[in-house]
Chain A
Amino acid sequence: MKYLALILSNLKRHKLRTVLTMLSILVAFLLFGYLAAIRTAFTAGIDVADLDRLIVRHKVSLIQLLPASYEARMEQVEGVDEAVGQTWFGGYYQEQRNQFAQMPVKPGEFMDMYPEYVLADDEKEAWLNTRTGAIAGSQIAERFGWKVGDKVPITATIWTMNDGSQTWDFDLVGIYESGEKGTDTTQFFFHYDYFDESRPDWGKGLVGWYTVRIDDPERSAEISAAIDAEFANSQAETKAEPEGAFLQGFANQIGDIGFIMTSIVAMVFFTILLVAGNTMAYAVRERTNELAVLKALGFTDTGVMGLVLGESFLLTAIGGGIGLALSWLMVSAGDPTNGFLVVFFIPGRDMIMGVVLIGVTALVAGILPALQAQRLHIADALRR
């Protein structure tokens, strides 16, 4: 560490160049962190999928409805603890562009199924007891400025009421928070009973899909097969799969765009680093003379190499560190699409990856100049 002062004074030699190089590294790492969040958003929820949960949907497609009576039959299947139905309501709030996810559920079973949706006890109690009661995620409540106790009218696009009216009125009795990182807090849940009574006859007794809790994640394939077998050759055959596989499949539907975005940007990340690396190499080359003087003063070959590498590490660590920190701040400030990317955060794994990448970058950028410095012959260099 006693050489830190020497390294620092080297960096200060061309302050402007040092700062500019640092800034380009900063931008590269800022981008790295930000893209990690975007990629996470496009593969929303896969990391937080519960191994104990299966998703059961209609075999032909997710939009085909399943009988509500399947719930009881599924709960008879060996290995199944609990099944909860959900249905895509597809309404909007006030304006057509304010679309978000609303689902009718059976509140008690639902809260047991999803412990990651955290609701205060009194709010939970109120929800269970209010037929027109609904709960909203904290993010969506904030977006529309909803408070507990508000009346929230939702305009239906699919499910008009049986009296022909298009607007459903709900009482917001609770706002749920996220219990773990990556939980979607942009959803809105209300009573299945209210939904089923008020919807037109053609839809009564049908639900969109089921979430099923199983007692042993090891047996998820076996239990999925047993559920599908239960409904084989019926009018509504099912497809059961682990929640993670279901979410992965859904992410693959968007797939291409997320993949293309991240891969091309990875390319540019390296271009920016190339520029920074080149500048560092230049800075060392320019100083050949001084390095030779250091050696003449008694610095060992390894010592001089260490000095150069140290400079590269310090520069990259400061630039990259600030870049990662800034990306974290930017991501915390919210997603750039105003609520479309429902989960938006940088996973810890990617932060660690970023730190590793700082080390790798410093090494790659510094190793050639460092080796040059190590091999320098005093006499030759001083004569230049």
Chain B
Amino acid sequence: MAGPFNWISQVASVSIFNVRTLPKRLGSSVTAVLGIAGVVAVMVAVLSIAQGIVRAMESSSAPENVIVLRGGATAEMMSGLGGDDVRFIAEAPGIARNEDGAIASAELFVIIDVKKQSTGTDANVPLRGVTRAAPVVHQDFEIVKGRMFEWGLNEVVVGVGANREFRGLSVGDSIEVAREQWPVVGLFEAAGGVSEAEIWVDAAVLQTAYRRGNSYQSVFAKLESPDDFQAFKDALTADPRLNVRPMREEDYYAEQSELLYNIVTGLGTLIAVIMGIGAVFGALNTMYTAVAARAREIATLRALGFHAGPVVISVLLESLLLALAGGVIGAGLAWLAFDGFTAATLNFASFSQITFAFYVSASLLVQGIVFAMVIGFFGGLFPAVRAARLPIADALREQ
């Protein structure tokens, strides 16, 4: 009477029976589902912060782009390059050229205090002095409102992220730098990258205001092709006149976001695991109750000749089904509530604000549902084994 077909049909019939009786245990089933949904929602939401930060960093970089800092500097703020350094870098092999010459932008990076929209307290907003190649080098730079600043004038353009998160950065407003008022003349987008949290001005204007002479802090450049990087790097590091640190833009931004990413992911995972353990207890309770309520039915099936295996699997299936429902609800809720939610935070690596949008990626949704299934599996396993081990005679005799 054994045989795989018979076995499978036993699984199917017990499972269908279980599922059809679910409405009778609605109360406890719904709480288990809600518990798991809550856990998954939180996990997905917190991890989507980390994903959002990484995405902002990634969209800032292009594979053929490089950044050059002073040797030993880990961020633009602490770097410094003289006018000559900048000229040598722009002449290095591999740098792409257009009608205006080398596509390399020497830049200054400082921060100024601007009030945060949400709290009204000061935030470190990046103020970047750029040269003419900047709109070409930086990924997908585009003025979306107003106009670009005039070179040589005390005018600034503001990233849409900065405009959204901080006060007084709309077209028509002005910012105070070096005891002068610099008008905001335009807003720009940059493919959702970190530049969107910045204020841009002509580097020459910023040099004067900050009395920096002809010095810069970084050079952003475009190479002919990503493959030219090694040659470019070798040329710069071999040049005795220079003490610089050339990096691929991708590596630089990955390094910039590493700390923040690790903290958010680490804390998020830790919290999710603790909550997950709590949800397993909830699911165990639900499934033990479900098994207890059905002890007689299960015993009857066993007396009729059903094997223990199908009984175990059917209970597990029920638990997994509830977990799946919880996972889908939780991941869906997190996606609806948080995907695209914009925020700003302090990036410790650059000591300045970055703006980003929470990003609930497809893989995060899958992770959330998988996590729910793991909870469901452990929540169902022990009750399932108990169901299979019920002494048939005793269970049949119960009230």
Contact = CB atoms under 8 A, between A and B. Distances in A.
Do the two chains belong together in a single complex?
Answer: yes
Interface of A: 16-17, 20-21, 23-24, 27-28, 30-31, 34-35, 38, 59-64, 90, 96, 155-158, 160, 166, 233, 237, 239, 248-249, 252-257, 260-261, 264-265, 267-268, 271-272, 274-276, 278-279, 282, 336-337, 340
Given A60-B177, A336-B267, A249 B285 contact: no
B261 to A, nearest CB: 12
B73 A61 contact: no
B39 A275 contact: no
A60 B175 CA distance: 10
Interface string B119-132: 10111100000000
Nearest to A261: B46
A317 to B, nearest CB: 17
B110 to A, nearest CB: 7
Given A24-B285, A264-B41, A63 B31 contact: no
B281 A282 contact: no
A160 B113 contact: no
Given A264-B42, A271-B38, A278-B28, A248 B121 contact: yes
29 contacts: A17-B285, A20-B282, A20-B284, A20-B288, A27-B274, A31-B274, A61-B124, A62-B124, A63-B111, A63-B351, A158-B78, A237-B179, A252-B119, A253-B116, A253-B121, A253-B345, A255-B345, A256-B118, A257-B49, A260-B46, A261-B46, A267-B38, A268-B275, A271-B37, A274-B31, A275-B34, A276-B282, A282-B289, A337-B262
A339 to B, nearest CB: 11
A60 B27 CA distance: 59
B110 A61 contact: yes
Interface in B261-279: 262-264, 266-268, 270-271, 274-275, 277-279
A272 B38 contact: yes
Given A257-B345, A265-B42, A96 B74 contact: yes
B208 to A, nearest CB: 14
Contact of A257 (B77, B118, B264, B266): B264
A275 B285 contact: yes
A276 B116 CA distance: 41
Given A253-B353, A256-B344, A282-B28, A35 B72 contact: no
Contacts of B37: 271
Contact of A23 (B28, B39, B281, B288): B281
B285 A252 contact: no
Contacts of A17: 285, 288-289
Contacts of B176: 60
Contacts of A63: 77, 110-111, 124, 351
B263 A340 contact: yes
B379 to A, nearest CB: 10
Given A62-B124, A166-B72, A24 B38 contact: no
Contacts of A268: 38-39, 41-42, 275
Given A63-B77, A63-B110, A237-B179, 13 more contacts: A16-B288, A24-B285, A27-B277, A35-B271, A60-B113, A60-B176, A63-B351, A155-B72, A256-B118, A260-B343, A268-B38, A336-B266, A337-B263
B312 interface: no
Interface of B: 27-28, 31-32, 34-35, 37-39, 41-42, 45-46, 49, 72-75, 77-78, 110-113, 116, 118-119, 121-124, 176-179, 259, 262-264, 266-268, 270-271, 274-275, 277-279, 281-282, 284-285, 288-289, 343-346, 351, 353
Given A35-B271, A60-B113, A274-B35, A249 B121 contact: yes
Name which of A17, A27, A30, A38 has the most chain B CB atoms within 10 A of its CB: A27
Given A252-B123, A253-B116, A278 B274 contact: no
A155 B73 CA distance: 10
A233 B178 CA distance: 10
B315 to A, nearest CB: 15
**What's the dominant secondary structure at chain B's contact region?**
helix
Name which of A17, A268, A337 has the most chain B CB atoms within 10 A of its CB: A268
Contacts of B274: 27, 30-31, 34
A316 to B, nearest CB: 14
A192 B262 CA distance: 34
Name which of B75, B116, B282, B346 has the most chain A CB atoms within 10 A of its CB: B282
Contacts of A20: 281-282, 284-285, 288
Contacts of B285: 17, 20-21, 24, 275, 279
A28 B278 contact: yes
Contact of B278 (A27, A61, A155, A166): A27
A340 B260 CA distance: 10
B278 A282 contact: no
Nearest to A267: B38
Given A20-B281, A272-B282, A264 B46 contact: yes
B322 to A, nearest CB: 12
Given A24-B281, A254-B345, A267 B288 contact: no
A156 B279 CA distance: 48
Given A255-B118, A272-B35, A274-B31, A336 B270 contact: yes
A261 B358 CA distance: 13
Contacts of B75: 157
Contacts of A31: 271, 274-275, 278
Nearest to B268: A261
A165 B262 CA distance: 32
Which 10 A-B pairs rank lowest in CB-CB distance, beginning with the nearest? A27-B278, A271-B38, A275-B282, A249-B121, A253-B346, A24-B281, A256-B343, A158-B78, A268-B38, A275-B35
Contacts of A156: 72
Nearest to A276: B282
B124 A261 contact: no
Contacts of B344: 256
